[in-house]
Amino acid sequence: MKGIFALARAHVIAGIREKDTLFWFLVFPLFLLTILTLIFGRLGQDPEIHFTIALIDREAASSDAAFSPSAIVRELFSSLTLSETPGERPLFSLRTPASTDALDAFQEKEIEQLRRGNRAAVLVIPPGFDRNVLQSLQAGGQSPQPSVEAGLQLYMSQTSVASETAAAIIEQILAGLDRNLLAQMGLYDEAASIDVVTEWTQQEQADSEVPYVNYVLPSIVLMGFFTTGLFGVPGTILYNREGKVLRQYWVTPLSVRQYLLGFGVGHVIFCAIQFALVLLLGRLAFGATLQFSSWHTVLLLILASATFLAFGFLITSFARSANGGMAIANILNMPMMFLSGMFFPIVGLPIFLMILVYANPVTYVLEALRQSVGIQAGTLMPWPWPVLVPLLWILVCSAVAVRRLRWDVGS
Amino acid sequence: MQADYTLKVLDLKKHYGDVHAVDGVSFDVQTGEVFTMLGPNGAGKTTTLEILEGIRVPDSGELVLFGDVMSRVSRAAKQRMGVLLQDGGFEPHLKVKEIIQLFASFFSSSRPISEVLDLVALTEKAGAQVRNLSGGQKQRMAVGVALVNDPDLIFLDEPTTGLDPQARRNLWDVIERLKADGKTLILTTHYMEEAEELSDAICIMDHGKIIASGSPHDLTASLGHETLIEFRWDDPPNDAVRVLDACCEQVRLEGERVTMETSMLPKTMAQLLQWSEETAVPLRDLRVRQPNLEDVFLSMTGRTLRE
Amino acid sequence: MRSFAALLLAEVRNFTRDKLMLFFTLLFPVVFILLFGFLFSGMGDAERAEVGFVLESAHNEELLLSVLSEAGVGNTISFPDREELEAAISDHRVDFGLIWTGDDLRFLYDPGRLQENVAFQQIAGGIAAEFDMRAQGAQPAITVHRIHAGEIESTGWFNLVLPGILAFTILSSGLFAVSGHLTQMKERKILDRLIVTPMRPTALLIAIAIVRLVVGLISTFITLGVGMLIFRLNFTVDWVRYILFVVCSTLGTMGLGTVIALLVRRPSSAGNLANVLAMIMMFLAGIYFPIEFMPGFLRTISAGLPLTHMANVMRSVTGVMDMSDIRYWLTTAAFLGLAIVLFPLMARYVVKPLRR
């Protein structure tokens, strides 16, 4: 018994002391959590967002009307170049032509800048814009759709997310302006407008938004468990077999079963450390609100680490050498992670990939864990499959390992 | 008091496919002696040792270990055994004292860690990680691990291979001390002088069988009272071997090296010198020596031990 | 010259006989492309979005249906109640949902599909605005239409990712040429045996570089080909610039590999460190995720990473991103310069005895 705990302790200590293990199993999950949260947690709701756009008014030169929508558009955008609160960057930096002479050259230059990623969008007010808007307003909204030429031209680049976002924001701003003008003409009643409510599935209150980190946290936890099992088990067992570290154990009264127990306990402790670090970072730095404390969640976490432990043993059984084992692990790593819905949802995959998705043990534990912490209901299969299939995997892996795994060199 | 024998091996057999690695081996190891196994690679020495160390299970045969009859080494027996593997390994990121502690935890009773460290002179290195140890320090730690349970039977598989002369001397001292404590040791080695100096009993294996056994003295004496004359020649005449063979018991050739076995040294020597003068074949590196274990093996198999 | 030919041959054999290495350099990127291609092909694509809706009120029902049919999405599917709609969203049968209560429009999204929801919300916003406007019998006076300014008309997200993967392939090929292959030779004492011969270290380096270049090119061709054939991706490749950049950046990253090898104590750690750095770069260089929304300090780091620039150049030479000539030539020259500056260092590393 003391041997089992001494082995578990040695396993954890060696894992923490080894730089490689330390990075891939403890630092990398934290790194990935940080990166993903910083990128996707801010998608579309970034307060520091700032775009450089160009506004070219080709109407101003030709229009002398008292009521000038083009002037309103200009004013609106220049007001957005001022920050609402001092010290904060405003939404836009606006580039406008210095004179009305070389509008074509200016527009061409700005579009070129847009292509190179130096502008987020170029908005062009075409000549005749004022007259068209006016006509449309006077017709009381009953006129046929205004022609394309009469609308604002919004140049954007599909290759840039910033440009996509800027375009969407500009469209929203202009739609607001449009409603405002219509309302002033009595064509549109703000009060009678249809409310738009955004809701999320499986969520009781629509108002409290679930932070992104909550969705990515279970994935990161499982990724950590998965890589620890996938690389850690063959790594330790195979290198120790080749280096006759294992043989040194077998000449003592230690049995294979005791060694396995010690290894398993060490593995679970290692996973627990990993889990604690990821959870701590998610909570403290990114405001995760997930609860992992219910008994079924804890059991699921243990099931997950046991499943990947068993899977690691399966790979170990098939590898002839340590390098071979690591190669197998490397080949399986990415496909298994991505074909589980861990980082990208499983949507519209061809049938041969769907078969892999359903064969993949990661899919099931991920599903179970997500259900358990309440961030996603069953999307792929009903209860109790997310628990039964991993248990089946453990059984199969153990059976294969018992039959195939060699515990000593040359035996 | 114990039985006279710590270990008795009866008709041990182990085969891999068609290869009979161990083909009916029997021997006794007396309590308190140093028992050495010799043999070339592939002789079955390693397999026999691995069976005795409990790594392998024999196909058939019987072991009597510490007075208990068993077909394979039991866990209870392992409690009283210590094994120094040939190039065994340790988790490189653990510290010396952690390794000793780990192995101590596998036994129901063990020596205090500090005592083990002291025994192998690693007290100063107790906090060093295994990967930072020198080859000699690693070997000393391995010895410490083998002795952590204060075993009665100790296996030392080529313990001095790759060690410098000083380190080898130190290990010999450790072996002598263990022997003085009444421990039983089973040893394999590539160094004849080591075997002759340390062993009380020797068995020589070849092709899975024991071909000779006894004390070092008995074994060399079995060759009779022969003396060996060794020299090297460059360009001997065609009839050289025939001529020399006539004046001694046997002539052996290994490339340009010649060994003559004789029981009448003065006469053979005189004839050899005379032949050398007549044929003008110089006898380079000429020396006269008594037969050793290597010669015992050679005379029985016609091959050398090292190959 | 003969000894150089022999060295080159040895390097080629070394590579082709190592089945694992062959697999990882030639086939692994293809596995990646296939995986990502299928995973992302249906992601966040407005024109193919499946929209589920529930009409809880008959008020303005016809209008809503006509707005939906003109919304420019893939499909609209009617559901009897919210429960079934939610189930369909959870099962990914529809991408997002809409419920018309008679008073308000409720849009329902799957919180697990965060990367795509931004696109879905845009579609939803369009539908809502149109419906709102027409419900009041009004028509927008100010209209906006988008004009794509890039060179390629239908540039999808995966079009941008693929050149990034090519850049990553080149990076790892170059890094591991030194911080893997060469260090391994050192560890196995193969270099020691070579050094005692009259062979010049430069000859060995050039042999290694040639093999890496050829392998790098082949590997990127295969990846590119798979992308074009299987996923019908559009690329307009400027082959001259493409090959020139692959050559320069491979050499440049070999130089970086040397720096890594010089930083660590044991040669075997170099491969591990290179692995770690490559992985970190992959995430920060915006290969898979857009970097525009990373916090400022990360964008600054990103701008300093060689992989970021490699990915941008690869995008420009495959015609999915615009880049000024000056920037192309400057980046290419920078990698070549890196190679030239670090080459002596590399040669010294070859003959440098192992630190113990």
Percent of chain B with pLDDT over 90: 44
Best to test chain A binding among C266, C277, C293, C323 (most A CBs inside 10 Å): C293
Residue A172 resides in a domain: yes
CB contact under 8 A, B108 and A253: yes
For residues C100 and C162, membership in a common domain is answered with no
Cβ-Cβ contacts under 8 Å between A and B: the total is 76
Q: What angle do CA C65, C67, C73 make, to 5 degrees?
A: 95
Domain encompassing residue A133: 51-192
Q: Which residue has the higher pLDDT, C200 or C85?
A: C85
C136 interfacial to chain A (CB closer than 8 Å): yes
Residue A147 resides in a domain: yes
Compute the distance between CA of residue A355 and CA of residue A380 in angstroms, rounded to an integer: 12
In SS3 terms, B38-65 reads as ECCCCCCHHHHHHHHHCCCCCCEEEEEE
pLDDT of residue A48: 62
For residues C270 and C183, membership in a common domain is answered with yes
Q: Is the pLDDT of residue B104 over 90?
A: yes
Position C309: which residue type?
Answer: H
Give the residues of chain A that fall short of pLDDT 50: 205-207
Burial grade of A57 (CB within 10 A; 0-12, 13-18, 19 or more): buried
Residue C322 resides in a domain: yes
Residue A167 resides in a domain: yes
Best to test chain C binding among A194, A202, A339 (most C CBs inside 10 Å): A194
Compute the distance between CA of residue A212 and CA of residue A39 in angstroms, rounded to an integer: 10
Question: Mean pLDDT throughout B6-27?
Answer: 90
Burial grade of A66 (CB within 10 A; 0-12, 13-18, 19 or more): exposed
CB contact under 8 A, C320 and A159: yes
pLDDT of residue C267: 74
Q: Which residue has the higher pLDDT, C86 or C46?
A: C86
Q: What is the nearest CA distance from B193 to chain A, expressed in angstroms?
A: 28
Compute the distance between CA of residue A399 and CA of residue C222 in angstroms, rounded to an integer: 40
Tokens of C48: 């193919």
Report the residue from A116, A194, A335 with minimal CB separation from C105.
A194
Confidence tier at C151 by pLDDT (50, 70, 90): low
If you average pLDDT over every residue of chain B, what do you get?
Answer: 88
CB contact under 8 A, C269 and A153: no
Is the separation of the CB atoms in B58 and B11 below 8 Å?
Answer: no
Which residues of chain A neighbour C110 with C-beta distances below 8 Å? 200-201, 345
For residues C209 and C337, membership in a common domain is answered with yes
pLDDT of residue A252: 93
For residues A13 and A59, membership in a common domain is answered with no
Residue A199 resides in a domain: no
Is the separation of the CB atoms in B113 and B100 below 8 Å?
Answer: yes
Q: Which residue of A has its CA nearest to B97?
A: A10
Confidence tier at B52 by pLDDT (50, 70, 90): very high
pLDDT in tens, B170-194: 889 999 999 999 999 999 988 888 8
For residues A35 and A62, membership in a common domain is answered with no
Domains in chain B, CATH or no CATH each: 5-220 (3.40.50.300), 224-290 (3.30.70.980)
Q: Which residues pair with C147 in a beta bridge?
A: A155
Q: Which residue of A has its CA nearest to C39?
A: A349
Domain encompassing residue C203: 2-40+155-351
Place of tokens 């060295």: C7
For residues A166 and A62, membership in a common domain is answered with yes
Question: Mean pLDDT throughout C164-173?
Answer: 90
Confidence tier at C42 by pLDDT (50, 70, 90): low
Output the DSSP codes for B251-274. Answer: EEEETTEEEEEES-HHHHHHHHHH
Strand order across the B250-254 sheet: B250-254, B257-262, B227-232, B284-289
Report the residue from A161, A198, A345 with minimal CB separation from C113.
A345
For residues C93 and C204, membership in a common domain is answered with no
Best to test chain C binding among A122, A197, A219 (most C CBs inside 10 Å): A197
Strands (E), C56-187: 75-78, 96-100, 104-109, 144-148
Q: Which residue of C has its CA nearest to A132?
A: C141
CB contact under 8 A, A255 and B102: no
Q: Is the pLDDT of residue C44 over 60?
A: no
For residues C260 and C114, membership in a common domain is answered with no
Q: Is the pLDDT of residue B141 over 90?
A: yes
Compute the distance between CA of residue B33 and CA of residue A392 in angstroms, rounded to an integer: 54
For residues A113 and A142, membership in a common domain is answered with yes
For residues C253 and C177, membership in a common domain is answered with yes
Q: Which residue has the higher pLDDT, B115 or B264?
A: B115
Top-confidence range, A259-273, C147-161, C278-292: A259-273
For residues C231 and C131, membership in a common domain is answered with no
pLDDT in tens, C305-339: 999 999 999 999 988 888 888 999 999 999 999 99
Report the residue from C128, C141, C148 with minimal CB separation from A181.
C141
pLDDT of residue C90: 79
Place of tokens 């589920």: C52
pLDDT of residue B184: 95
For residues A282 and A165, membership in a common domain is answered with no
Report the residue from A142, A152, A188 with minimal CB separation from C144.
A152
Counting as contact any 3 or more CB pairs under 8 A, the partners of A are B, C
CB contact under 8 A, C140 and A175: yes
For residues C20 and C65, membership in a common domain is answered with no
Q: Which residue has the higher pLDDT, C129 or A225?
A: A225
Q: Which helix (H) or strand (E) holds A259?
A: helix A256-286
Report the residue from B76, B88, B129 with minimal CB separation from A244.
B88
If you average pLDDT over every residue of chain C, what do you get?
Answer: 83
Number of domains in chain C: 2
For residues C99 and C25, membership in a common domain is answered with no
Cβ-Cβ contacts under 8 Å between A and C: the total is 254
Which residues of chain A neighbour B155 with C-beta distances below 8 Å? 251
Contacts of B54 (CB under 8 A, 6+ apart): A250, A251, B72, B73, B77, B78, B81
Report the residue from C20, C141, C322 with minimal CB separation from A137.
C141
Which residues of chain A neighbour C128 with C-beta distances below 8 Å? 194, 196
Number of domains in chain A: 2
For residues C106 and C159, membership in a common domain is answered with no
The yes/no answer to whether this complex scores an ipTM above 0.90 is no
Residue C143 resides in a domain: no
pLDDT in tens, B54-92: 988 999 999 999 989 999 999 999 999 999 998 888 999
Residue C328 resides in a domain: yes
- CATH number of domain containing A104: 3.40.1710
pLDDT of residue C307: 95
Best to test chain B binding among A251, A254, A406, A408 (most B CBs inside 10 Å): A251
CB contact under 8 A, C269 and A19: yes
Please compute Rg for chain C using Cα positions.
27
pLDDT of residue A206: 45
pLDDT in tens, A247-285: 999 999 999 999 999 999 999 999 999 999 999 999 998
Residue A254 resides in a domain: yes
For residues C131 and C167, membership in a common domain is answered with no
CB contact under 8 A, A38 and C294: yes
- Output the pTM of the full model: 0.84
For residues C81 and C190, membership in a common domain is answered with no
Strand order across the C50-55 sheet: A195-200, C104-109, C96-100, C50-55, C75-78
pLDDT in tens, A230-250: 999 999 999 999 999 999 999
Report the residue from B79, B83, B89 with minimal CB separation from A243.
B89
pLDDT of residue A136: 81
Q: What is the nearest CA distance from A348 to chain C, expressed in angstroms?
A: 6
